[in-house]
Structure 1
Amino acid sequence: MNRREEFLKSGAERNESDSREERLAGWWQTASFGLALGRRAGRAAAKARRSVQAAETAQALVDQQAVYALLEEGHSVRWIADQLSMSRTAVGRLAKSMKRGGELSDVRMAASPGIDEETKRLVLRAWDVDSLEESLENDAYEAKSSRVDDPENMEKGETVDRKKRMTKILDRAAEVGRYAENLENAIGAGGRTPRPDDALHHLGDDTGRLISEGLSVGGISGGADVIDAYLQAFNEARTKNGMRQLTPRLAVKNLQWAIVTPEQMTVEQREEIRKEFTRRHSS
């Protein structure tokens, strides 16, 4: 039996009540995953750094592209910042960098050597296209759709688009909820470190950004929907981990911690979202 298999079966550094399969499922998150892989350590660290560089470059590119697209449609910096959950300062800086003589101008950001292809793949995925050719087809389709003059058809199209956007936001909120509980469970595994107190539950900055997106797409109700999606997934993961449910009251007790910048929403909007969420769970 090799060292890795022996370590995994022994339950060392883990909750010994967990099965081998349960230990294996969460092993990638632990320091001991590198056990007996020392010869690959340098290469693994370098690959991880390149992946981070590619992701950071892709994020910067997509932010720039999204701002360009919405500026070209005539939207204001403030409106764009709300839609993209970015600060007005960041949007304003990008807008300034893409203007020449007061007119919007295309600019190119070069990816670092060695990560161009990975960055391209991430950028295409962010825009929900599989290839550059498909992006041209989507452009033609959207240009054609934008010429439809029937107000009823336009309203239906906007409604469908909002529903799709909201579905994606809620799916991401559920992912964050599952991750948050599994992280709490990992912290408390083995009994050496207590699980975080539910009274101090923090929805997290990622959830805060998704609440802001939900507010932009679906109003106060949309913001509350995001918290619902997070809490449902969080509690489903808790059930699997044999833990008691997080109550709705405690889920939003510290909602203000998740809203990290005033650009995300006003205090009044935040409290309206809290109020709507609480109303849903008051019975």
Structure 2
Amino acid sequence: MAESTQGFFGEARARAELGLAVFLNAGDPSLPVLKDCVAMLDESGVSCLELAVPFPDSPTDGPVVRRSADRALAEGVGFAETLAFVAAVRPSLKRLRIALLADWSHSLRAASPADYARAVADSGIDALLAHGLPPRLRPAHHEALREAGLPEVTSCYPASPPATVAEAAAHATGYLYLVARYGRSGSGTPSAGHAGLAPVVGSLRDLTASPIAVGFGVSTAEDLASVALSGADAAIVGSAGVAVVERARETGADPVDAYRSFITTLTTTPESRGGHS
């Protein structure tokens, strides 16, 4: 697998630089176009693709991501199609890691944790983030991922209760996603800016050796620079990139070219890739 000896964001961490993860729904753009987009991301030096199995009516996503999921669902893309897609593109990737985001109710509940963990691992996916996992299933989920050798992505908020933070840190074997603020995706930056999360990132460092990635409200090179000042290992860019795909569809532009240009705006400003403070 890509970066197999260094883990998520390993190359960036080794250079004391900020890693970059981007979010897209499988099926938006369509899978043949997404294949080209994944190859472009790999060539562009993006560390991680958070690839979501599309599901409807997400309570944590804003209108941009919801429309994207609806388009992907209209393309007939589900759990099996997403895993098959990753299995097909994985052999050609040199460095890009793929973390799967799957909603438990829509995509995972039909199978046992052992079965879905094995299916995800066998596809070549590098880690799994389960959305909406019922608390009663968490022990079986964690154990199934360990048995499958599948790293886990967990998440918490700056204001999450200590027990929630501790659980997220304990099971973050892929990376820990620090969601910068409550609300729906695409709803803006935290009030003190991403750099203001430094105390939270510092406290998480005491709880986990896994990388810490900050998302929500990250859409520009300046935002990436602010995330770097927080001391996090990576920034996650979601709605802003999904909006680029949507605009390309509406205008008839090439989504891959449009997304490549967007990545360039994020990564060419020196301070957006600077080291931790």
> TM-score by structure 1 length?
0.26
Give the structure with the larger strand fraction: 2
For the pair shown, which has the larger CA radius of gyration, 1 or 2? 1
TM-score by length of 2: 0.26
* Greater relative CO, 1 or 2 (CA 8 Å, sep 6+): 2
Quick check: which one's helix share is greater?
Answer: 1
